[in-house]
Structure 1
Amino acid sequence: MTDTELAFLESVLDLARTGRTDELTHLLDAGVPVNLTSPAGDSLLMLAAYHVHPDTVRALLARGADTERVNDRGQTALTAAVFRNDPAVVTDLLAAGADPHGGTTTPVDTARVFGLDAMGRLLRPGS
């Protein structure tokens, strides 16, 4: 890839990091892959979840973002949302089928290790 192409892809990742949903969805609807990942394996969905952008998370989910995509550290978008203690994004990801036991650094383990009891309750079925 050229430096220009790499810069463009990084700018798309930045849209997810900064929650610029309208700009991101415009590019996705024009053909940018919804499961684009950073060199560290962070997907657009993971970046939006980690940086607490629920509208961006919902837009990515509506376009088929893979909730089970794992980054180089074994984390999913749900792990990121649990770590950030974000009930709205956790709820949206669970509704989209995200697995509380997915990845090697699972959302359930993250809630337990960091003492995020409210997150742990959200991850249990029927809660």
Structure 2
Amino acid sequence: MARAGDAEMLRAYLEAGVPVDLRNQAGDSLLMLAAYHGSAPAVNALLEHGADANGANDKGQTPLAGAVFKGHDDVVEILVRAGADPHAGTPSAHDAAQMFGRADYVRFWEVPPAG
């Protein structure tokens, strides 16, 4: 569901009581799966239901690092605006952005949020 990006079905399951930070056998949360697979609607749904934007999997990777690794610009922006820490995890999203030459991401989270 999170991986496939079916945000409406995901919302229905969350509202029926499925834990928002449910994890698979690798420790990947629903948010990690949605972020890694580039499903902005599912990422939004999970964050709206209180998903931990900085929750790392068993390897220490965060949803933001997964989105950076896969180059999902819209998901990166959503996660950063939701408070995801680009320096959390191993490797961090910041490290991943530097490894993959994504200076645009680094500039994005170094600018203070508007407001």
Listed as ranges, the gaps of 5+ residues in structure 1 are 1-14
Indicate the structure whose relative CO is greater, using CA pairs within 8 Å and at least 6 residues apart: 2
Tell which structure's C-alpha radius of gyration is larger.
1
- 1:72 aligns with 58
Q: Distance in 2 between matches of 1:78 and 1:125?
A: 17
Any conservation in 2 of the 1:73–1:105 contact (CA below 8 Å)? no
Q: What letter is aligned with 2:97?
A: A
- 1:44 aligns with 30
Q: Distance in 1 between matches of 2:48 and 2:18?
A: 15
Q: What letter is aligned with 2:37?
A: H
| Alignment: residue pair count | 113
Alignment of 1:83-94 (within 5 A): 83-94=69-80
* Alignment partner of 1:21 is 2:7: yes
Task: Tell me the TM-score normalized by structure 2.
Answer: 0.92
Q: Distance in 1 between matches of 2:17 and 2:44?
A: 18
- 1:123 aligns with 109
Listed as ranges, the gaps of 5+ residues in structure 2 are none
- 2:40 aligns with 54
Per-residue CA deviations over 1:61-90 (Å, capped at 9, x if unaligned) read 000000111111111000011111122111
Identity of matched residues, %:
49
Q: Which moved more, 1:113-122 or 1:23-32?
A: 113-122
SS of 2:2's equivalent in the other structure is helix
How far apart are 1:30 and its partner, in Å?
0.3
Structure 1 runs (4+) greater than 2 angstroms displaced? none
Q: Distance in 1 between matches of 2:10 and 2:87?
A: 29
Q: Distance in 1 between matches of 2:62 and 2:11?
A: 21
Q: Distance in 1 between matches of 2:73 and 2:110?
A: 13
More helix by share: 1
How far apart are 1:24 and its partner, in Å?
1.1
